[in-house]
C-alpha cells in the first residue's frame, strides 16, 4: 500500500505567536481546499520547532487557578503567555523542548479523535523504547506520555499533547521535554493536574545533555512508522 506523503519542515527556534500564525495558514489552506472540493495531493504537514520561554493555555483552561505567577513575574523570567485555540489546559514551552505540530488532513488517515491522540502518544512511547529502552506509558483518563513509580501521585510526565481539529484537519500537537529547564513548570499547574511531576529525557537518563539533533531524527522516524507516512521537504518560494 502506497504511503501517505507529508510536507516536513524544521522551523528551528521560533517565537510561539509566529509559529501559531504559520500553522493556521497551513491549517485553513487545507480546510479551504476541502470545502471547495479542490484536489489535494498531500496528506498535510509535520513541523518541528523549539520555542523561547512561553506559557500557553487551551480554550477551556483555567488561567486564574493554574498560572501561579503574575504578568510582571513572567516578564522577569523572559516568558510570554498565550490563550490558544487548542484543547487541554496550561503548559510550558521553551528551549530544549521538541515541539511537533502535525497539520493533517484526516481524510487520508481515519476520522477518530481518540485514535489520533493515542497514536500521537504512541509516537513518543515508540521513540523512548526503541532508542533508549525506557518505558513511556499512558495515564488513564489523561492525555500525554508518562513514567510511573507505581504510585499515581508520583507519576512523571515527559510529553504533553494538545490539539485542535476542525473539518477533520488537525493542528497543534505534542511537546517533548528533552533538555528542558524544568524549573519553569514550577510556575504553573501543568495541564491542570495536581500532584504530578514533570520530567525530561535528560533527567531520566541522568545525562548532562542530550543531542537535540539526534532526538529530532529519531522522533521523526517514529512518527513515520506509527502514521505510515513519508516526508517531503517544503520548498520555499
- pLDDT tens by residue, 177-226: 999 999 999 998 877 666 778 999 999 999 989 999 999 999 999 999 99
Comparing 9-13, 22-26, 62-66, 205-209, the range with the smallest average pLDDT is 62-66
Confidence at residue 79, expressed as pLDDT on a 0 to 100 scale: 96
User: What pLDDT, in 10s, does the model give residues 37-76?
Assistant: 877 778 999 999 999 999 999 988 888 888 899 999 999 9
Query: What's residue 149's pLDDT?
Result: 72
| Helical H segments across the chain, by residue range | 16-35, 63-66, 71-76, 113-132, 201-205, 212-227
- DSSP state, residue 3: P
- pLDDT on residue 39: 74
Give the per-residue pLDDT at 1. 63
Of 128, 159, 175, 191, the catalytic one is 191
Q: What pLDDT does residue 63 have?
A: 85
Range 4-233: architecture per CATH: 2-Layer Sandwich (3.30)
Spatial distance between the Cα atoms of 137 and 139, rounded to a whole number of angstroms: 7
pTM for the predicted model, two decimal places:
0.94
Distance CA 103, CA 21 (A): 13
pLDDT at 237 over 60: no
36 vs 27 pLDDT, higher one: 27
Concerning whether 191 is annotated as a catalytic residue, the answer is yes
Please give the pLDDT value at position 3: 84
Reported as a single tens digit per residue, the pLDDT across 107-166 is 999 999 999 999 999 999 999 999 999 999 999 889 999 998 766 557 899 999 999 999
What value does the mean pLDDT of the chain take? 92
Cα separation of 131 and 65, whole Å?
A: 37
Amino acid at each position: 500500500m502506497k504511503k501517505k506523503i507529508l510536507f516536513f519542515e524544521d522551523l528551528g527556534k521560533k517565537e510561539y505567536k509566529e509559529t501559531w500564525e504559520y500553522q493556521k495558514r497551513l491549517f485553513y489552506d487545507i480546510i479551504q481546499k476541502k470545502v471547495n472540493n479542490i484536489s489535494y495531493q498531500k496528506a498535510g504537514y509535520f513541523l518541528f520547532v523549539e520555542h523561547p520561554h512561553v506559557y500557553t493555555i487551551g480554550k477551556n483552561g483555567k488561567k486564574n487557578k493554574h498560572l501561579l505567577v503574575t504578568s510582571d513575574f513572567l516578564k522577569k523570567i523572559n516568558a510570554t503567555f498565550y490563550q490558544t485555540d487548542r484543547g487541554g489546559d496550561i503548559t510550558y514551552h521553551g528551549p530544549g523542548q521538541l515541539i511537533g505540530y502535525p497539520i493533517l488532513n484526516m481524510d487520508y488517515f481515519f476520522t477518530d479523535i481518540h485514535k489520533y491522540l493515542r497514536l500521537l502518544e504512541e509516537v513518543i512511547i515508540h521513540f523512548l523504547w526503541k532508542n533508549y529502552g525506557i518505558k513511556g506509558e499512558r495515564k488513564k483518563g489523561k492525555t500525554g506520555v508518562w513514567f510511573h513509580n507505581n504510585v499515581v501521585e508520583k507519576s512523571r510526565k515527559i510529553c504533553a499533547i494538545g490539539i485542535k481539529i476542525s473539518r477533520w484537519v488537525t493542528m497543534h500537537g505534542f511537546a517533548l521535554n528533552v533538555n528542558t529547564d524544568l524549573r519553569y513548570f514550577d510556575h504553573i499547574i501543568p495541564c491542570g493536574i495536581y500532584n504530578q511531576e514533570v520530567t525530561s529525557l535528560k533527567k531520566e537518563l541522568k545525562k548532562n545533555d542530550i543531542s537535540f539533533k539526534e532526538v529530532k531524527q529519531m522522533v521523526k522516524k517514529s512518527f513515520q512508522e506509527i502514521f505510515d507516512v513519508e516526508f517531503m521537504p517544503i520548498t520555499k518560494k
